[in-house]
Structure 1
Amino acid sequence: MENQKYLDDLQDIRKMMNRSTQFLSLSGLSGVFAGTYALIGAWLANSLIRAEVEKDYYVRYRDFENLLFFKVAGIGLVVLLLSVVSALICTHLKARKNQESIWNATSKRLIVNFLIPLFAGGIFALILLRHSYFGLIAPVTLIFYGLACIQASKFTHRDVRYLGLTILVIGLFNAEYPGYGFECWSLGFGVCHIFYGAIMYFKYDRNS
């Protein structure tokens, strides 16, 4: 009886230590939603480009920039907004269920460490876009997003690190073979998010 009480006390202490150093209310469902949005967005963007190519056999870069770029960028913005809103809602619900604040010192550190590589990658991608290096935009976004996940994983579930490593490898592959941008982008941001999000949901969310 005393041994069981001792073990229970140790588990309580461990939970308190984890809560002070890790934000454990990150929801796996938010990853599933983000991956689904990414796949739909990639399909829509690819369909737009294919339709334009079929309409005009020769598509000039100026036409691409003026006509397609803003449409594709708009799709990407909608995907990003939907992903952020879904993540906030799912994480808020899980945090409330776990009686944890969604905005604390640990979650702030997580967000800062996630955003630094993400913003750096976004600026780099815009520079590449400005100089018409279109084939490198997809791998750069994958690589820096993977690094952002790895950096943020110090403050949340370890599964986020594996997600980041997987996306990083996909981005490096895409950098070597830039012709597979849509495929790698869909695999990294779409399939990987759904896969790891489902794993996190069944490991941490379903029985919490």
Structure 2
Amino acid sequence: MDSKKYLEDLSEIKDLMQKSSRCISLSGLSGILAGVYALIGAAVAYILVTNSGSPYLILDGYIFRLVLLDLFLVAFLSIATAIFLSTRKARKNGEKIWDTSSRRLVINFLIPLVAGGLYILIILDQQKYGQTGALMLIFYGLALVNASKYSLGDIRYLGYTEILLGLIAALFPGYGFWLWVIGFGIMHIVYGAFMYFKYDRI
């Protein structure tokens, strides 16, 4: 009997340690909405480019700036939605949204993401557009994998998927746009739905 109680106590201590070292208030619904934003943004970008008079997805001048603005709006809405829904979830569960774990999560997520973003801006300035979609997917996937140890471990699987899609896009740059749509749009919706039904509807 004492041995059984001892094992139960150890299990409870382990659970508490995992909760204290991980940010577990991420909302699955925010992943779904991020995917929806990405699909809408991709549709807007596609319309802008195809109506520019060029038969190819080549970005230049005014259209280029509009597409960049479109991407920034998608990123802003996704981040704002994630912060809002995750904060609401944390308050509902009586958890802190900004603590040591969430700070580590943000730092580990931003390091590869910012480095990748700066590199992409550099090559865009050099008018090298072919690998942009692949690089976005790869660096975003690396950011997710890097941050997963401070959040729900399932996030790393989304990261692996994004990296794989990025590598495929690098092999077949002509399909980079559509692989971007799959990675940032469809995969976010699939992953967000999985996380929502696994964690949020408890």
The SS at the match of 1:158 is: coil
Residues 10 and 94 of structure 1, relative CA distance in 2, 3 Å threshold: farther
The equivalences for 1:1-208 within 5 A come to: 9-53=9-53, 64-207=59-202
Residues 43 and 17 of structure 1, relative CA distance in 2, 3 Å threshold: same
TM-fit CA distance, 1:10: 4.2
Residues 162 and 104 of structure 1, relative CA distance in 2, 3 Å threshold: same
Conserved in 2, the CA contact under 8 Å of 1:174 and 1:181? yes
**Partner AA of 1:40 in structure 2:** I
TM-fit CA distance, 1:70: 1.0
Residue-by-residue CA offset, 1:118-176 (whole Å, 9 max, x unaligned): 00110110111011110111101110000000000011111100000000000000011
Question: How far apart, in 2, do the equivalents of 1:47 and 1:133 lie?
Answer: 21
Conserved in 2, the CA contact under 8 Å of 1:35 and 1:193? yes
TM-fit CA distance, 1:39: 0.6
Residue-by-residue CA offset, 1:30-65 (whole Å, 9 max, x unaligned): 111101100110011001111112xx6699x7xx42
Give the number of aligned pairs.
202
TM-fit CA distance, 1:198: 0.7
Runs (5+) with no aligned partner, structure 2? none
TM-fit CA distance, 1:6: 5.7
Question: How far apart, in 2, do the equivalents of 1:173 and 1:156 lie?
Answer: 27
**Partner AA of 2:141 in structure 1:** G
> What TM-score, normalized by structure 1, do the two folds share?
0.90
Identity of aligned residues (%): 48
Cα-Cα RMSD: 2.0
The SS at the match of 1:135 is: coil
Residues 203 and 58 of structure 1, relative CA distance in 2, 3 Å threshold: closer
Question: How far apart, in 2, do the equivalents of 1:51 and 1:153 lie?
Answer: 40
Greater than 6 Å deviation, 4+ residue runs: 1-5
Conserved in 2, the CA contact under 8 Å of 1:117 and 1:145? yes
Question: How far apart, in 2, do the equivalents of 1:192 and 1:166 lie?
Answer: 8
**Partner AA of 2:40 in structure 1:** I
Conserved in 1, the CA contact under 8 Å of 2:50 and 2:56? no
The SS at the match of 2:140 is: helix
TM-fit CA distance, 1:77: 1.1
